[in-house]
């Protein structure tokens, strides 16, 4: 009996240590999350919002080139999705760096230039998202990601490219691409209660009220489902129905944005 208790203690010791370390690293977290006390997101927040270090309140994230990190207190700036916090010499922001009270700046994980639907070439996808967020706040159409690489560099210029030889396939892909969404799946850690991204997948927008078709195995046993549209906008999704035998699931997002659908006329192709 004593041996069994000892084995169990050794088995769970790393998780208990992780929980203790995580709580020490964030100073100022309340014992219980009360979302009614959360402050409103500033109107000029262009990088988007994320959950604070306590996984309680949404806060405005730091954008590219803005400060991030700190001594591990509640309220330390954190980078937006798609970015990482880097200290001097490009060192990643880790637990060791955090314990030393280091601060850094947010850098985009993707460094390749991209082309937007406005015909403008952007340094990276993060800059495109920032411009798109600003446009939507001004009640203007969002800037949609079109292709990797600068605008005007079409594959049609290369006679050996697949686009040149199989142009009809590329045209079909261009038609349905805006209706394809990226899906991120999250689970909560057992002891720290912190959400961790554990899987990703894709789906198709099939109705104007936000219904999305995806695979059942993608969303099975997940704590939270997040959907990213081609424009870069993200929304939490609810699982509406699952058919495990057919491996099909139906999820739904609520958004005032006009959605691009995988329409029935496409079947005629």
How far is it, in rounded angstroms, from Cα 132 to Cα 126? 10
Class of domain 178-268: mainly beta
pLDDT at position 5:
40
What is the predicted pLDDT for the residue at 20?
A: 37
CATH number of 45-109, picked from 3.30.390.30, 4.10.40.20, 3.40.50.620, 2.60.40.420: 4.10.40.20
What's the whole-model pTM score? 0.46
Q: Which residues pair with 83 in a beta bridge?
A: 108
Specify the pLDDT at position 247. Answer: 87
Q: 127: closest CA among 175, 173, 83, 71?
A: 83
As a whole number of angstroms, the distance between CA 62 and CA 82 comes to: 11
Pinpoint the alpha helices (H) of the chain. Answer: 2-25, 95-99, 125-137, 162-165, 167-176, 216-219
pLDDT tens for each residue of the chain, 269 residues long = 444 443 444 444 444 343 333 444 567 788 888 888 888 888 888 888 888 888 888 899 998 889 988 777 788 888 988 888 888 655 555 545 454 557 889 999 888 999 888 888 999 999 998 898 888 888 787 888 888 888 875 544 556 555 555 555 556 566 677 788 888 888 887 777 777 888 888 888 888 888 899 988 888 877 789 988 877 788 899 999 988 888 889 999 987 767 767 654 433 33
- Dihedral pair phi/psi, residue 212, rounded to 5°: -130, 135
pLDDT at res. 106: 92
């Amino acid at each position: 009996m004593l041996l069994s208790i000892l084995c169990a203690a050794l088995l769970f010791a790393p998780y208990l240590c992780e929980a203790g370390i995580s709580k020490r690293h964030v100073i100022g977290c309340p014992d219980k999350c009360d979302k009614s006390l959360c402050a409103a997101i500033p109107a000029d927040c262009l990088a988007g919002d994320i959950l604070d270090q306590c996984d309680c309140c949404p806060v405005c994230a730091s954008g590219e080139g803005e400060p991030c990190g700190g001594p591990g207190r509640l309220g330390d700036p954190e980078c937006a999705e798609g970015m990482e916090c880097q200290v001097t010499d490009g060192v990643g922001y880790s637990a060791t760096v955090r314990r030393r009270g280091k601060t850094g700046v947010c850098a985009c994980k993707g460094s390749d230039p991209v082309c937007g639907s406005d015909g403008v070439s952007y340094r990276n996808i993060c800059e495109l998202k920032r411009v798109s967020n600003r446009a939507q706040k001004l009640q203007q159409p969002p800037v949609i990601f079109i292709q990797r690489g600068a605008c005007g560099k079409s594959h049609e210029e290369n006679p050996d490219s697949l686009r040149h030889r199989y142009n009809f396939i590329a045209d079909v892909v261009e038609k349905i691409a805006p209706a394809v969404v990226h899906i991120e799946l999250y689970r909560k850690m057992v002891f720290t209660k912190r959400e961790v991204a554990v899987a990703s997948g894709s789906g198709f927008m099939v109705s104007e009220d936000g219904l999305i078709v995806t695979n059942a195995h993608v969303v099975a046993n997940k704590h939270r489902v997040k959907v990213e549209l081609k424009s870069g906008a993200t929304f939490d999704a609810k699982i509406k129905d699952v058919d495990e035998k057919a491996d099909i699931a139906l999820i739904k997002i609520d958004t005032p944005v006009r959605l691009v659908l995988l329409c029935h006329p496409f079947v005629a192709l």
